């Protein structure tokens, strides 16, 4: 458990450090610091507040004969218990709260708007698996989902598998996952109560509702049952780096201390995942680095059998597999940059000369995934930035695409667990279309809407306009942009404009609907998603051109998109906000250093901003796995290149936009001290009088608040930050 300071302990810690010994940071007016730490006045204005200033404690960092001085290195505390560090974060939170106190009514209004659009007593579309219909549902006023099922028909009696609200009691954070055994009589469930993504697994007898005593700790939430209904495969994490590196098996009724280690990945650049074939024949162990894959197979009917290698890892070879009858289907980039589909007989997979090509490589189409059924196959393909679903009839070889009409959208296959079926379940959404779930008859091509996300209070898509436009990057490359705004919006350059981007790991940022975003659109905002290089929207090369020694293409693309949107009259530098989270926080941090003049405000959530120091430290979670993404700075070429864009290392004495930075104390992906150090350095060097706010969720991790309503409060703060700046113009 992490230490939490009470309000009195916090004040004592602050005054003891600041007033008596003046060591690590000062807060507010030094002659009367309580003015800034206690709610003594509700009328205090933002401009009268002085932000916390972190003390400079020089730390020498040497690499390649170069010395960097990191004055805020002391903010790192892996235990997250150091009083002076916690006091600083809490003082920053106090500063945000007081500085934005005049927006509390606005935040409350936005919160009520967003929450008011959500159907609180909602449920997912049930899906059939073996003898039961499974679903999740929410109850009015409750934060967390309830996992339930009904036997045979949806008219049957509900059986509650897990009530997240009851399990979350007493915890500030909660995340739960369930996995029912093949015989549907036992269930494993994984829970995280810190946001650190280190789950604890317990077991429930679904016939008696008894929760068993045996417990597994520090594991990934993805669990796989063998076909014997008593063996569970799970993945353990390294307690320091949090790298998933070991596969274990647990047998119900035995002491977890006697669990068997099935596989251990020694290469620190690889992460370990597990899954199960739809055929239920194989438990699959996936070993994955940024550019390489290796799959091991265990016969699910023989859980004690030794794993066998599907195909040994090869340099820059990524593949995934599906099983059907006596064949394996392989989505592979072997001699195919945008991937192709191969087939091989079971037992011959280690000999690539036996692989038979099913779908060839195409220069303009990225093959992302496949769904295998007894008589059909569905291909998830990305062309010109948009995901398309292609259906193939395996008996008569006929094929067709499912039609989508929006200029920009997101489509995906989901919950297709049954093998012998002609029904495909898929999801669809666009920037004007609420999330929709369809059942699609792959034979008749009939599409049945099972559910569309309800927007309480009414929503008319015809009141909004969605566009897909293209900006020209610095090197002449065309960059797609997805846009949404209210009908009647004038392109006169006066609109508040949001530019959102990510651009890393080959993650494609598809256009999707957001009930929260309506609060901006109704107030005249134009919202854009820029599909910059570093993602994979336009194919594999799109990713290759935005990583390693080409990473700055990502930032240049974002800048080009911003300039294009402003030139087209969607906004201007006084009304434009850049938003990014995690690696997207790196994006907006780098862009802010390069072109601060283009933005009124920057919103950086859990931002990865201390690139060089983090990538030099292999004890930090994710570092070793990401050398293929960013480069290893122990190599001088990569070190020098990173130093040209790392947001923290490139902060300088100049004017910056208004900035809101958010993080979670228990973040396992981007450690809290990265944004903390970044903010401290910005406070020291920036020459403007613009706002700089730093908000730490002391109870959450990388994903922010865990409850569905608590998360809205964070969104309301972000929206109020932007709206407040616009109202002051």
pLDDT level of residue 472 (50, 70, 90 thresholds): very high
The answer to which of 61-70, 346-355, 480-489, 612-621 has the lowest mean pLDDT is 612-621
Give me the pLDDT at residue 702, please. Answer: 67
Which residues does residue 664 pair with via DSSP β-bridges, in sequence order? 697
Share of the chain above pLDDT 70, in %: 92
The mean pLDDT value for 566-578 works out to 98
How confident is the model at residue 703, as a pLDDT?
65
Report the alpha-carbon distance of residue 470 to residue 536 in Å, rounded: 16
Separation of alpha carbons 51 and 644, rounded Å? 29
- The residues annotated with a catalytic role in the active site are 582, 667, 702
Q: What pLDDT score does 667 carry?
A: 79
- Structure confidence by residue, pLDDT tens digits, 649-675: 999 999 999 999 999 998 777 999 999
597 pLDDT above the threshold of 90:
yes
Q: What is the spatial distance between Cα 560 and Cα 422, in angstroms, rounded to a whole number?
A: 45
61 touches 67 (CB < 8 A): yes
Has residue 370 got a pLDDT over 80?
Answer: yes
pLDDT score of 196: 80
Strand pairing category for 340-345 and 327-332: antiparallel
3-state helix/strand/coil string of 233-259? EEEEECCCCCCEEEEEEEECCCCHHHC
SS3 722: helix
- Give the phi and the psi of residue 277 in degrees, each rounded to 5: -65, 150
With 90 as the cut, is the pLDDT of residue 221 above it? yes
The whole-model pTM stands at: 0.88
pLDDT at 65 over 60: yes
In sign, the C-alpha dihedral spanning 604, 606, 607, 613 is: positive
The arithmetic mean of pLDDT across residues 496-506, rounded, is 97
Mean pLDDT of 455-476: 97
The rounded distance, in Å, linking the Cα atoms of 279 and 281 is 5
Strands 658-664 vs 692-697: parallel, antiparallel or unpaired: parallel
Q: What is the mean pLDDT of the chain?
A: 91
pLDDT of the residue at 625: 80
Give tens-digit pLDDT for 140-199: 999 899 999 999 999 989 999 999 999 999 988 899 999 999 999 999 999 999 888 899
Cβ–Cβ < 8 Å for 294, 313: yes
Q: Is the pLDDT of residue 474 over 70?
A: yes
Expressed in percent and rounded to 5, the helix, strand and coil fractions of the chain are 25, 35, 45
**Mean per-residue pLDDT for 282-305?**
96
| Residue 78 pLDDT greater than 60, yes or no | yes
Confidence of residue 622 (pLDDT cuts 50, 70, 90): confident
For residue 379, pLDDT over 70 is answered with yes
Q: Is the pLDDT of residue 630 over 50?
A: yes
The pLDDT assigned to 704 comes to: 61
What DSSP string runs through 44-81?
--GGG----EEPP--EEEEETTEEEEETTGGG--TTS-
Q: Give the pLDDT confidence of 4-40 residue by residue, as tens digits.
A: 223 233 222 222 222 222 233 333 332 232 233 223 2
The predicted model gives 374-390 an average pLDDT of 96
Which residue did the predictor score with more confidence, 36 or 109? 109
281-314 b/e (C-beta count within 10 Å ≥ 16 → b): bbbbbbbbbbebbbbbbbbbeebeeebeebbebe
Window from 171-175, 224-228, 243-247, 467-471 with minimum mean pLDDT = 171-175
Class of domain 121-366: mainly beta
Residue 39, pLDDT score: 31
Domain ranges of the chain: 121-366, 367-455
pLDDT tens sequence across 670-726: 999 999 999 999 999 999 999 999 999 988 666 666 678 888 999 999 999 999 999
- Among 173-177, 483-487, 532-536, 570-574, the range scoring the smallest mean pLDDT is 173-177
């Amino acid at each position: 458990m992490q230490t939490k300071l009470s309000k009195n302990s916090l004040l004592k810690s602050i005054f003891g450090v600041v007033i008596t010994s003046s060591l690590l940071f000062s807060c507010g007016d030094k002659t009367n610091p309580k003015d800034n730490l206690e709610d003594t006045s509700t009328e205090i204005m933002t401009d009268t507040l002085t932000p916390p200033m972190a003390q400079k404690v020089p730390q020498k960092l040497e690499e390649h004969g170069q010395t960097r001085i990191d004055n805020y290195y002391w903010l790192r505390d892996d235990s997250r218990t150091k009083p002076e560090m916690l006091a600083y974060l809490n003082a920053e939170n106090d500063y945000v709260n007081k500085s934005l106190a005049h927006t509390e009514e606005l935040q409350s209004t936005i919160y009520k708007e967003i929450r008011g659009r959500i159907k609180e007593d909602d449920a997912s579309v049930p899906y059939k698996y073996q003898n039961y219909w499974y679903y999740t549902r929410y109850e009015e006023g409750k934060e967390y989902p309830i996992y339930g099922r009904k036997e045979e028909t949806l008219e049957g009696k509900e059986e509650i598998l897990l009530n997240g609200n009851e399990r979350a009691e007493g915890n500030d954070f909660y995340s739960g996952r369930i996995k029912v055994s093949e015989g549907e009589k036992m269930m494993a469930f994984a829970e995280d109560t810190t946001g650190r993504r280190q789950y604890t697994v317990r077991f429930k007898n679904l016939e008696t509702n008894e929760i068993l005593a045996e417990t597994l700790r520090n594991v990934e939430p993805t669990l796989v049952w063998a076909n014997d209904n008593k063996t569970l495969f799970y993945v353990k994490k390294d307690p320091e780096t949090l790298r998933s590196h070991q596969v274990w098996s647990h047998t119900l009724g035995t002491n977890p201390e006697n669990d068997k280690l099935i596989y251990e990945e020694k290469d620190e650049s690889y992460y370990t995942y597990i899954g199960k074939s739809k055929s239920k024949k194989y438990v699959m162990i996936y070993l994955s680095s940024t550019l390489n894959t290796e799959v091991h197979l265990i016969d699910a009917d023989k859980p004690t059998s030794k794993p066998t290698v599907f195909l040994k890892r090869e340099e820059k070879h990524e593949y995934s597999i599906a099983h059907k009858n006596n064949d394996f289907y392989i989505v592979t980039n072997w001699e195919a940059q945008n991937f192709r589909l191969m087939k091989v007989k079971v037992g011959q997979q280690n000999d690539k000369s036996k692989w038979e090509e099913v779908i060839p490589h195409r220069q303009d189409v990225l093959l992302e995934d496949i769904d295998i059924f007894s008589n059909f196959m569905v291909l998830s393909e990305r062309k010109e930035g948009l995901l398309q679903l292609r259906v193939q009839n395996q008996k008569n070889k006929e094929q067709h695409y499912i039609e989508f009409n929006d200029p920009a959208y997101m489509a995906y296959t989901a919950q297709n667990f049954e093998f012998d079926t002609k029904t495909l379940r898929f999801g669809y959404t666009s920037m004007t279309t609420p999330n929709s779930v369809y059942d699609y008859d792959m034979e008749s091509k009939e599409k049945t809407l099972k559910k569309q996300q309800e927007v309480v209070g009414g929503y008319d898509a015809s009141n909004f306009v969605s566009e897909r436009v293209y900006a020209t990057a610095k090197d002449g490359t065309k960059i797609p942009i997805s846009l949404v705004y209210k009908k009647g919006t004038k392109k006169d350059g006066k609109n508040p404009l949001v530019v959102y981007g990510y651009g890393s790991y080959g993650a494609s940022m598809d256009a999707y609907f957001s009930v929260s975003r309506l609060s901006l659109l109704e107030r005249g905002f134009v919202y854009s998603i820029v599909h910059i290089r570093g993602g994979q929207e336009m194919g594999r090369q799109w990713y290759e051109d935005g990583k390693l020694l080409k990473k700055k293409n990502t930032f240049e693309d974002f800048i080009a998109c911003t300039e294009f949107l402003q030139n087209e009259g969607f906004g201007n530098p006084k009304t434009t906000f850049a938003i990014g989270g995690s690696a997207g926080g790196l994006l907006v941090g780098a862009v802010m250093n390069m072109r601060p003049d283009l933005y009124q405000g920057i919103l950086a959530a859990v931002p990865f901003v201390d690139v060089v120091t983090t990538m030099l430290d292999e004890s930090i979670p994710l570092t070793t796995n990401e050398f293929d993404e960013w480069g290893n700075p122990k190599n001088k070429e990569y070190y020098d290149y990173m130093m040209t864009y790392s947001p923290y290392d490139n902060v300088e004495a100049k004017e910056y936009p208004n900035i809101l930075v958010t993080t979670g104390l228990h973040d396992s992906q981007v450690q809290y001290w990265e944004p903390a150090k970044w903010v401290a350095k910005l406070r020291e060097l920036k020459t403007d009088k613009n706002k700089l706010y730093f908000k730490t969720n002391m109870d959450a991790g990388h994903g922010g608040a865990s409850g569905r309503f608590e998360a809205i409060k964070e969104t309301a703060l972000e929206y109020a930050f932007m709206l407040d700046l616009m109202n002051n113009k």
